Structure 1
Amino acid sequence: MKGTALGITGFALIAVTYGMARFAWGLMMPEVMHDIPFTRRVSGVLSACSFAAYCVAVLIAPMMTARAGPRFPAAVAALCAASGLLIIASAVSPWMLGIGLFIAGMSAGLASPALASAVSQRIEAEQQPQMNTVINAGTSMGIMLSVPILYWLPGGWRIACTVFAALAMICLVPIWRQLPNHNENAQRESWLSHLRQRTLQRLIFIALFSGVASAAWWSFGPDLLHHIHVSDRMVSLLWLIAGAAGIIGALTGPMAKWMGMKRVYWLSQCCLAVPLLLLAFSHHYSAWLFPAVALGGAAYVTLSGVLLVWGAEATNNAPAVGVGILFYMLAAGQVMGSLLFGQLFMLAGAPTALTLFAALPLLMMFVIRR
């Protein structure tokens, strides 16, 4: 019963912090650009603000968890999501958007390490990978819910951000009830002692370049669809499909038992490239966009689930540290990817930028041997 309650709490917090406070920006960005004009280059910088904040938070979270237990950083994550989203809702200039995105972006970086630590304390060892991947799939639910809230509620993106903020505040109640307020396995070693592990070094490389590749879709996806003349309604439907498909990420654990975690990793990298390649060579709407974006959504959530499990296992005496390091590198890659893709989009055009970014996950398939 405690495990179920913890799983639901973690799933809800990830839905709010990742799906709404972080990735919903890509969906609302075209509408925001109509109300607060800015260039695609600025949009790349704004997206990088969210990812940079994530990097900062994911560095702090393991230390907060070691000192105060998982409950405190998880509660701060919900508060950051709510306050950042409210700033975005009231923004009148790009710099206000940047501040809101930075604060909201911190929420996701605080949430994942705290939840990984809570799972390590409350869940039996053999069930931890499955619980972690189920919680991680909350990203998809957040993305799915963001579509009807953004497009069906009156008031547009400003009201939607206010609703997202309210949902973040609601998460505080189960966080306070279900997450431990102490750390049974308090980590005393420094990050540097873990960084010397060769296994973790290879995973760091994988996380960094996977983050670069994923930034193209999650920061610019709706804008790219508009670029090939897809209607607003169809863009929202495709985003909804990408989010819904990410629920498959909850099956990362069972898939790993059936085909091995390495093959799940290969499959997710391959599928990450599919929507980018299709968008690179598309000039108009095509029915092939539906399965392509579904593969992309499922691939990202599955890949982050693989990294979560591997990170927790690589530092099993301090799972928050391993998860924090890999998710930091994933976000650092997304910062680099957002800035780089924005520049390439402006200078070389969408097809060239998308082709180059699609090549990264395909190359990453050959990096890992074990």
Structure 2
Amino acid sequence: MKKNLALAITGFALIAVTYGMARFSWGIMLPDIRQAVPFSTQAAGLIAACSYGAYCLSVFFASLLTQRFGPRFPAVLAALTAAAGLLILAFAPSPPVLAAGLFIAGLSSGLASPALAGAVSVGVNPERQTEVNTVINAGTSGGIILSVPVLFFVPGGWRVACAIFALLALASLIPVWRYLPRTGSAGEVAPGWRSLIHQPGMIRLSTVALVSGIASAAWWSFGPELLQRHTGLSDASTNVLWLVSGGAGVAAVFTGSLAKRIGMRGVYRGSQIFMAVSLIALALSNGFAWWLVPVVAMSGAGYVILSGVLLVQGARVTEPSPAAGVSIAFLMLAVGQIIGSVLFGQLYGFIGAVGALLAFSALSLVMLAVVPDART
């Protein structure tokens, strides 16, 4: 039990710095960054896509690194790339340097998830793996929760915040080195990508991840920008709502327990409904209202719960090589977010926030008819 808890806390911390800080803090920092380093809305979508592109690159190799060197090595690389990218962001003088820093920081999250899935496969009994994986996955929200007060209260703005996030990423190396196994499972094989795609259920899972990734980019790449420029909220209100969004995602720690009661399909459909309804409500909002609190909470909880479903199902589809399945699922999620970031930025610039948000909400509604755990 103590070993499971130590691994869960370590994984939670690594996901917090690689996803919550190195990847998703970009959204809350974007309005301030654009004041210090001006660039257009279309350019903002392209810069955000750099993070997702890096994620695609690293997640592609993460399962191979995990299988060859064990979970600890790619997890250490995840912490180091998070720290390096965040430090570049802290001193970036221009949009190209911002893009470079976001790219390097984005490598970290792609390395972290498959490595941690491999560590859970090696170190946790099968009956507890779903619970531990979903607790680890909720680290995204933990990182977001911490990033908001750092940005809001620490003097120096977003540049100092990025430097603090980099130090926290380096600090995560200590538990990673201590608690993650150095070697992988002796029974784990390294299947080729072609054979992975032909695993029963993988094509459907990949489709769900791709389309869901496109839909999720509206909030995670442009959420604070939309709250300020479309809804007309102040910086303080935006920060509070972003904190609510991240905090709500912590509910994903209960994904495993909830799945035992209503099934993983029920959890999955609930996450898609949350994502769709939140975008629709945001499209229709104007000024602050109390109902924006549950709206942004649904955005945060819906995405983190969805990613937990993809993580669990990806690990199941490719047993006994869970890191490979997680890599495929999260690769397709990131490809979708690249497409979504660029597409939403273009739609936002040409047809406005309302049309772009309604179009992206429709994607989540369509996904209600496609479940990721069907065996075809």
TM-score (structure 1 length as normaliser): 0.99
Residue 270 of structure 2 is aligned to residue 267 of structure 1:
yes
2:20 maps to 1:35: no
What are the within-5 Å matches in structure 2 for residues 129-140 of structure 1? 129-140=130-141
Report the Cα distance in structure 1 between the residues aligned to 2:188 and 2:75, rounded to whole angstroms.
Answer: 17
- Counterpart of 1:340 (choices 328, 343, 366) is 343
Q: Secondary structure at the match of 1:260?
A: helix
197-206 or 69-78: bigger deviation: 197-206
- Aligned twin of 2:53: 52
- Contact 1:55–1:332 under 8 Å retained in 2: yes
Q: Is the 8 A contact 2:45 2:342 kept in 1?
A: yes
Q: Give 1:108 deviation, angstroms.
A: 0.3
What is the count of residue pairs matched by the alignment? Answer: 370
**Which amino acid in 1 is paired with 2:29?**
M
| Alignment partner, residue 11 of structure 1 | 12
Residue 222 of structure 2 corresponds to residue 220 of structure 1:
yes
After alignment, is 272-281 or 140-149 more displaced? 272-281
CA distance in 2, matches of 1:191, 1:127: 28
Residues 158-184 of structure 1 deviation map (CA, whole Å, 9 limit, x = unaligned): 000000000000011111111111112
Asked if 2 retains the 8 angstrom alpha-carbon contact of 1:67 and 1:186, the reply is no
Mark the CA change 1:186 to 1:316 in structure 2 (over 3 Å): closer, same or farther: closer
Which residue of the partner structure matches residue 238 of structure 1?
Answer: 241
Moved more, 148-157 or 196-205: 196-205
| 1:4 Cα deviation from its structure 2 partner | 1.1
- TM-superposition CA deviations, 1:71-110 (whole Å, max 9, x none): 0000000000000000000000000000000000000000
Structure-2 residue corresponding to 1:194: 196
Please say if residues 218 and 360 of structure 2, whose CA atoms lie closer than 8 Å, have aligned partners that are also in contact.
yes
Give, in angstroms, the shift of residue 187 of structure 1: 2.2
Distance in structure 2 (CA, Å) of the matches to 1:250 and 1:201 = 27
Instruction: Give % identity.
Output: 54
- Letter aligned with residue 113 of structure 2: S
Paired position in structure 1 for 2:78: 77
Corresponding residue number in structure 1 for 2:292: 289
2:369 aligned residue (355, 366, 369): 366
Contact 2:62 2:115 in 1 (8 A): yes
2:369 alignment partner, SS class = coil
For the pair 1:307 / 2:307, whether they are aligned, the reply is no
Residue equivalent to 1:89: 90
Amino acid at match of 1:45: L
Unaligned runs of 5+ in 1: none
Runs of 4+ residues over 6 Å off in structure 1: none
CA displacement at 1:191 relative to structure 2: 1.7
Give a deviation string over 1:25-68, Cα, whole Å, max 9, x none.
Answer: 00001000000000000100010000110000100100111110
Instruction: Determine the C-alpha separation between the residues in 1 that align with 2:16 and 2:285.
Output: 31
Counterpart amino acid of residue 80 in structure 1: T
Q: In the alignment, is the contact (CA less than 8 A) between 2:199 and 2:318 conserved in 1?
A: no
CA distance in 1, matches of 2:361, 2:108: 28
Give secondary structure in 1 for the equivalent of 2:201: helix
Does residue 138 of structure 2 align to residue 146 of structure 1? Answer: no
User: How far apart, in 2, do the equivalents of 1:352 and 1:56 lie?
Assistant: 31
Q: State the secondary structure of the residue aligned to 2:239.
A: helix
Q: Report the AA paired with residue 334 of structure 1.
A: Q
- Secondary structure at the residue paired with 1:316? coil
Quote the Cα distance in structure 1 between the aligned partners of 2:256 and 2:275.
Answer: 19
The amino acid that maps onto 1:331 is A
- Amino acid of the structure 2 residue aligned with 1:300: Y
Distance 1:32 1:16 in 2: 20
Conservation of the 8 A alpha-carbon contact between 2:190 and 2:321: no
CA distance in 2, matches of 1:22, 1:303: 17
* Counterpart for residue 258 of structure 1: 261
C-alpha displacement of 1:188: 2.8
Partner of 2:3: 2
How large is the Cα RMSD of the aligned pairs?
Answer: 0.8
Distance (Å, rounded) in 2 between the aligned partners of 1:258 and 1:296:
23
- Provide the C-alpha distance between the structure 1 equivalents of 2:276 and 2:40, rounded to a whole number of angstroms: 26
Of residues 285-294 and 125-134 in structure 1, the stretch that sits farther from structure 2 once superposed is 285-294
* Structure 2 unaligned residues grouped into runs of 5+: none
Amino acid at match of 1:243: G
Is 1:105–2:78 an aligned residue pair? no
Q: How far, CA to CA, are the matches of 1:321 and 1:49 in structure 2?
A: 23
Match of 1:351 among 329, 349, 354: 354
The residue type paired with residue 194 of structure 1 is L
Amino acid at match of 1:366: A
| 3-state SS of 1:365 partner | helix
The alpha-carbon deviation at position 186 of structure 1 amounts to 3.6
Q: Distance in 1 between matches of 2:34 and 2:26?
A: 11
